[in-house]
A and B are shown apart, each in its own frame.
Chain A
Amino acid sequence: MKKIEIASNCTLTLMDTAQFKDVLVAVRFLAPVSRRRVMIRMILSQMLCDRCEKWPTKQTLSDHLDSLYGATATCRTAHYGQLNAFEFRFKCLNDQYTRENTFERLFKTAGEMIFHPLRKEGHLDPELFEEAKRETIMANARKLEQPSSRAIASACAIFGKNHALAETQLLSEEELQSVTLQETEAAMAAMLQQEPVMIFVIGKIDEEKTIRYVQRFLPFTDRLPFPQSVDLIEKKDLEEVSQTMNIDQTSLVLVLRCPVTILSEDYWKMRVANALFGQLPTSLLFSEVREKRSLCYSINSSPLAYEGGILISVGIQKSKLEQTKACILEQLQRMQQGQFSKEDLMTAINMLKNAIYGSYDDPLSTLNFAFQNVLLDRQETVEDCIASIESTTCEDVMRIFKELQHCVTFSLEQEEEHENAY
Chain B
Amino acid sequence: MKTHIEPRYDETYVTETLDNGLRVIVWHKPLMRTTSCVFATPYGALDFDLTAENGERFHHPSGIAHFLEHKMFEKEGQDVMNEFSRMGANVNAFTSYQETMYYFSTSSEEIEAPLTLLLDFVQELNITDASVEKEKGIITQELMMYLQMPDSRLYFEVFKALYQNHPLKYDIGGSPTSVANTTRQQLEECYRLNYHPGRMLLVVAGPHEPSEVLNIIRKNQDSKQFAPLLKVGRTPIEEPQEPAKKKLLIPMEVTSEKTAVAFKLKPWVSTDHERVHDEWAIRCALEAHFSAMNPDYQKWIDEGLINDYFDYEIDLQKDTAFLLFVNETSDRSRFESLIQEELARCLRTPIGFEALNRLKKRYFGQAMRTFNSVENIAIGAARNDFNGVSVFELLEILDQLDQTQVMSALQHLSLQHSALVSIVPMHEKTAE
A residues with CB within 8 A of B:
17-22, 57-59, 61-63, 65-71, 91-93, 96-97, 127, 131, 134-135, 138-139, 141-142, 144-148, 173, 245-249, 280-282, 287, 290-291, 294-298, 315-317, 343, 346-347, 350-351, 353-355, 357-358, 360-363, 420-422
Q: Can you name 30 A-B pairs with beta carbons within 8 Å?
A: A18-B31, A19-B372, A21-B372, A22-B368, A22-B369, A58-B298, A59-B298, A66-B362, A69-B365, A70-B361, A142-B309, A147-B148, A246-B253, A248-B144, A249-B144, A281-B81, A282-B82, A295-B141, A296-B141, A315-B141, A346-B86, A350-B86, A354-B88, A358-B107, A360-B34, A361-B33, A363-B372, A421-B157, A422-B143, A422-B147
Q: Are B107 and A357 in contact (CB under 8 A)?
A: yes
**Given A18-B31, A357-B33, does the pair A420, B147 have CB atoms closer than 8 Å?**
yes
When distances are taken between beta carbons in the complex, the residues of chain B under 8 Å from A246 are 252-253, 426
Q: Are B31 and A19 in contact (CB under 8 A)?
A: yes
Instruction: Tell me how far the C-beta of B365 lies from the nearest C-beta in chain A, rounded to whole angstroms.
Output: 3
Given A97-B368, A422-B177, 4 extra CB contacts under 8 A: A58-B292, A249-B147, A282-B82, A422-B171
Q: Are A59 and B293 in contact (CB under 8 A)?
A: yes
CB of B145 closer than 8 Å to a CB of A: yes
Interface residues of B in 156-178 (CB under 8 A from A): 156-157, 171, 175-177
**Given A249-B141, A297-B141, does the pair A59, B297 have CB atoms closer than 8 Å?**
yes
Q: Are A421 and B368 in contact (CB under 8 A)?
A: no
When distances are taken between beta carbons in the complex, the residues of chain A under 8 Å from B177 are 422
Closest to A97 in B: B368
Closest to B254 in A: A145
Instruction: Tell me how far the C-beta of B340 lies from the nearest C-beta in chain A, rounded to whole angstroms.
Output: 23
Closest to B153 in A: A421
Q: Are A420 and B176 in contact (CB under 8 A)?
A: yes
Closest to B372 in A: A20
Closest to B149 in A: A146
Q: Are A315 and B359 in contact (CB under 8 A)?
A: no
> How large, as a class, is the contact surface on chain B?
35 or more
Q: Are A141 and B90 in contact (CB under 8 A)?
A: no
CA of A17 to CA of B426, assembled, Å: 52
CA of A147 to CA of B146, assembled, Å: 11
Contact pattern, B 85-125, Cβ under 8 Å of A = 1, otherwise 0: 11111110000000000000111100000000000000000
When distances are taken between beta carbons in the complex, the residues of chain A under 8 Å from B107 are 353-354, 357-358, 360-361
CB of B47 closer than 8 Å to a CB of A: no
Q: Are B135 and A145 in contact (CB under 8 A)?
A: no
When distances are taken between beta carbons in the complex, the residues of chain A under 8 Å from B301 are 131
Instruction: Tell me how far the C-beta of B62 lies from the nearest C-beta in chain A, rounded to whole angstroms.
Output: 10
Q: Are A297 and B359 in contact (CB under 8 A)?
A: no
CA of A420 to CA of B177, assembled, Å: 11
When distances are taken between beta carbons in the complex, the residues of chain B under 8 Å from A291 are 79
Contact of A69 among B34, B171, B298, B362 (CB under 8 A): B362
Q: Are B361 and A69 in contact (CB under 8 A)?
A: yes
Interface residues of B in 1-48 (CB under 8 A from A): 8-10, 31-34
Q: Are B293 and A70 in contact (CB under 8 A)?
A: no
Instruction: Tell me how far the C-beta of B142 lies from the nearest C-beta in chain A, rounded to whole angstroms.
Output: 4
**Given A93-B365, A360-B107, does the pair A62, B148 have CB atoms closer than 8 Å?**
no
CA of A280 to CA of B90, assembled, Å: 9
8 nearest A-B residue pairs (beta carbon): A70-B365, A294-B137, A422-B175, A350-B88, A70-B362, A357-B107, A58-B292, A66-B358
